[in-house]
Amino acid sequence: MQTLSTLDPDFQKKFTRLVNARRETDEDVAGRVSAILTAVKSRGDHALVEYSQRFDSYTLALDEDWVITPERCKEAYDGLDTELRDALDLAAKRIRSYHEAQLPSDRDYTDEAGVRLGSIWRPVDAAGLYVPGGRAAYPSSLLMNAIPARVAGVERLVVVTPTPRGDSNPTVLAAAHIAGIDEIWRVGGAHALGALAYGTERIKPVDVITGPGNAYVAEAKRQLYGVVGIDMVAGPSEILVIADGENDPDWIAADLLSQAEHDPTSQSILITDDAGFGSLVADCVRLQLNQLSTAKTAQESWEANGAVIVVNDLESEAPALANRLAAEHVELAIDNPEAMLPLIKHAGSVFLGRMTPEAIGDYVAGPNHVLPTGRRARFSSGLSVLDFMKRTSFLGLDDASFAAIGPAAATLAHAEGLPAHARSVELRSK
């Protein structure tokens, strides 16, 4: 963990280093992923059988080895303890409600030249969701990926997930039941993404693939971008907490640790105008670390990537620093967060006020928790129903509107050296 102060004459240099520090691992998996995708494209299910055996020690032999049925998911749901089931149901309901209001509107109008113009939004036919196996199998991620697709109107929702030695996570299956997943295939890794993109004998191809995964999964998505739509390149999680000295340091410490516990490459940064409060928070982080089952990961992250930045004045200094960091999550633990919100230009999601810890947004608030990382909030957005839809524009001319705007089209076509373009207009002008 490092402490910076804007009073330090070297602050700009140090802060720029913090902004530009690369936390994404450059594991060189491109070649291996490319070979796996090629194998799946050419050998289909046979390749899936081989890779599942090799990577997951799982044999895809009989039909029932390939899929987890909706009935099995329903059983998992029914088997949850009531508190957890209610929490999942509440989360799903709130996520659905928030995303329903994202549905875009179509347009259809005739302009003053008499040209009919418009656009129509439609869902993709099929979406594939990657669900990691093992430790990173999060039911909340399944809801956050599947519900926007369902709200968008996607007809076929497919999950691929590795089941090492046959194991699957019952809470994830319960979430699949809630989200109404149509197919769950027991395949994971880069080969599962190849199957979703190219299709195999058993698995029909999809149009869009979303969901988190390891370096192989991320690289496979990157390589398949263009064959299918993908959500985004995801990197390590981040939180930036902007807090004055009036906060309980224990609360803020817990917020910082809630990102740090995700991964050693996660990053937690506090900006405060109260140096003493900053020290208190750092002390609380150390104390709380001892009580966490995730202490090893959280400590590694905090020590390598954590930072406390002390500024003179929060209002005038914090937004500019936040915009350079363009963090995935930004908490405004201050008296008047509404006043600062418009100044935070680059952020995945903003959490307003002292009673809004980031974890609320991870689970039950409603907005999506799949958010841009690695400063990508400068140009990209969290997952939404739009990631599962596409827009078709349309136009229609009659004789009068053609006479009004057609000649200009022919003029421009000639200027660009495209005579057939011009002719298609000129023939109709006669």
Annotated binding site for Zn(2+): 259, 262, 362, 421
- Return the residue of 246, 283, 335, 399 that touches its own copies, per CB under 8 A: 399
Q: Which residues are annotated as a binding site?
A: 237, 259, 262, 329, 362, 416, 421
Binding mask 276-315 for its own copies (x = CB under 8 A): ------------x--xxxx---x-----------------
- Return the residue of 65, 75, 182, 248 that touches its own copies, per CB under 8 A: 248
Number of residues that bind its own copies (CB under 8 A): 125
Distance (Å, whole) CA 239 – CA 250: 16
Phi, psi (degrees; rounded to nearest 5) at 363: -120, -55
Phi, psi (degrees; rounded to nearest 5) at 35: -65, -40
Distance (Å, whole) CA 188 – CA 192: 5
- Return the residue of 158, 228, 308, 314 that touches its own copies, per CB under 8 A: 228
CB atoms within 10 A of CB 41: 16
For its own copies, give the closer residue by CB, 21 or 113: 113
Residues in 368-397 at the binding interface with its own copies, rule: CB under 8 A:
368, 371-372, 374, 376-382, 384, 386, 390-397
- Return the residue of 260, 307, 308, 322 that touches its own copies, per CB under 8 A: 260
In the complex, the smallest distance separating the C-beta of residue 60 from its own copies, rounded to whole angstroms, is 26
For its own copies, give the closer residue by CB, 260 or 269: 260
Per rule CB under 8 A, is residue 249 in the interface with its own copies? no
Binding mask 339-368 for its own copies (x = CB under 8 A): --xx-xxxxxxxxxx-xxxxxxxxxxxxxx
In the complex, the smallest distance separating the C-beta of residue 181 from its own copies, rounded to whole angstroms, is 19
Distance (Å, whole) CA 229 – CA 206: 9
Per rule CB under 8 A, is residue 398 in the interface with its own copies? yes
Per rule CB under 8 A, is residue 421 in the interface with its own copies? yes
Residues in 23-52 at the binding interface with its own copies, rule: CB under 8 A:
none
For its own copies, give the closer residue by CB, 13 or 291: 291
Residues in 172-211 at the binding interface with its own copies, rule: CB under 8 A:
207-208
Binding window for its own copies (CB under 8 A); candidates: 144-152, 157-165, 184-192, 260-268? 260-268
Residues in 105-134 at the binding interface with its own copies, rule: CB under 8 A:
107, 111, 113, 115-117, 119-120, 122, 124-125
- Return the residue of 9, 22, 101, 165 that touches its own copies, per CB under 8 A: 101
In the complex, the smallest distance separating the C-beta of residue 30 from its own copies, rounded to whole angstroms, is 10
Residues in 132-171 at the binding interface with its own copies, rule: CB under 8 A:
135, 138-140, 171
For its own copies, give the closer residue by CB, 62 or 420: 420
Residue numbers annotated as active site: 328-329
For its own copies, give the closer residue by CB, 236 or 372: 372
Which are the contacts of 61, defined by CB distance < 8 A and separation ≥ 6?
none
Mapping DSSP onto H, E and C, the string for the chain reads CEEEECCCCCHHHHHHHHHHCCCCCCCCCHHHHHHHHHHHHHHHHHHHHHHHHHHHCCCCCCHHHHECCHHHHHHHHHHCCHHHHHHHHHHHHHHHHHHHCCCCCCEEEECCCCCEEEEEEEECCEEEEECCCHHHCCHHHHHHHHHHHHHHCCCEEEEECCCHHHCCCHHHHHHHHHHCCCEEECCCHHHHHHHHHHCCCCCCCCCEEECCCCHHHHHHHHHHECCEEECCCCCCCEEEEEECCCCCHHHHHHHHHHHHCCCCCCEEEEEECCHHHHHHHHHHHHHHHCCCCCHHHHHHHHHHHCEEEECCCHHHHHHHHHHHHCCCEEEEECCCHHHHHHHCCCCCEEEECCCCCHHHHHHCCCCCCCCCCCCHHHCCCCCCHHHHEEEEEEEECCHHHHHHHHHHHHHHHHHCCCHHHHHHHHHHHC
For its own copies, give the closer residue by CB, 67 or 404: 404
In the complex, the smallest distance separating the C-beta of residue 135 from its own copies, rounded to whole angstroms, is 7
In the complex, the smallest distance separating the C-beta of residue 416 from its own copies, rounded to whole angstroms, is 5
In the complex, the smallest distance separating the C-beta of residue 274 from its own copies, rounded to whole angstroms, is 19
In the complex, the smallest distance separating the C-beta of residue 52 from its own copies, rounded to whole angstroms, is 25
Assess contact for 156 and 126: CB atoms under 8 A.
Answer: yes
Distance (Å, whole) CA 208 – CA 125: 9
In the complex, the smallest distance separating the C-beta of residue 56 from its own copies, rounded to whole angstroms, is 21
